[in-house]
């Protein structure tokens, strides 16, 4: 089992920034590729970005490229999401997720084994 706990969400004005964190415990963190997803009110959960086990490879949804940055610190068992130039449409609950294969599709949630409980990000206009 892997337990994932997100933190760092809150209320921010459009154009602002924040850093989300996801702390993992349980099994070896470096055995898992990590991803961030989000779910806005009334919408389906969607892929945001992902990072490979070593941190050497990343993937981003087109909607966040150039604004969001995913990183990880395997020594601290933590994955981060730096979110910049926030827009009201970024308002959502943000979830981190873990799976063993970075290269399988993240858009269909294929292989996601563990989910965090989510952290709310609200961007005011």
Q: How confident is the model at residue 12 (pLDDT cuts 50, 70, 90)?
A: very high
Region class of 84: left (phi > 0), else alpha (psi between -120 and 50), else beta = beta
Residues 6+ apart with CB under 8 A from 91: 40, 121, 122, 123
Q: What is the pLDDT of residue 108?
A: 81
Task: Express each pLDDT in 46-94 by its tens digit.
Answer: 999 999 999 999 999 999 999 999 999 999 999 999 999 999 999 999 9
Of 3-7, 26-30, 62-66, 96-100, the poorest mean pLDDT is in 26-30
Q: What is the pLDDT of residue 30?
A: 94
The percentage of residues in the chain with a pLDDT greater than 90, rounded to a whole number, is: 91
Torsion of CA 60, 100, 73, 117, to 10 degrees: 80
Whether the predicted pLDDT of 1 surpasses 90 = no
């Amino acid at each position: 089992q892997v337990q994932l706990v997100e933190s760092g969400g809150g209320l921010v004005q459009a154009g602002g920034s924040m850093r989300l964190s996801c702390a993992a415990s349980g099994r070896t963190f470096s055995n898992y590729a990590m991803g961030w997803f989000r779910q806005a009110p009334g919408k389906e959960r969607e892929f945001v970005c992902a990072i490979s086990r070593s941190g050497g490879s990343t993937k981003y949804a087109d909607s966040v490229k150039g604004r969001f940055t995913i990183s990880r610190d395997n020594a601290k068992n933590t994955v981060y999401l730096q979110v910049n130039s926030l827009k009201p449409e970024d308002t959502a609950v943000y979830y981190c997720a873990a799976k063993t294969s970075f290269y399988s599709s993240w858009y269909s949630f294929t292989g996601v084994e563990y989910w965090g409980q989510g952290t709310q990000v609200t961007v005011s206009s």
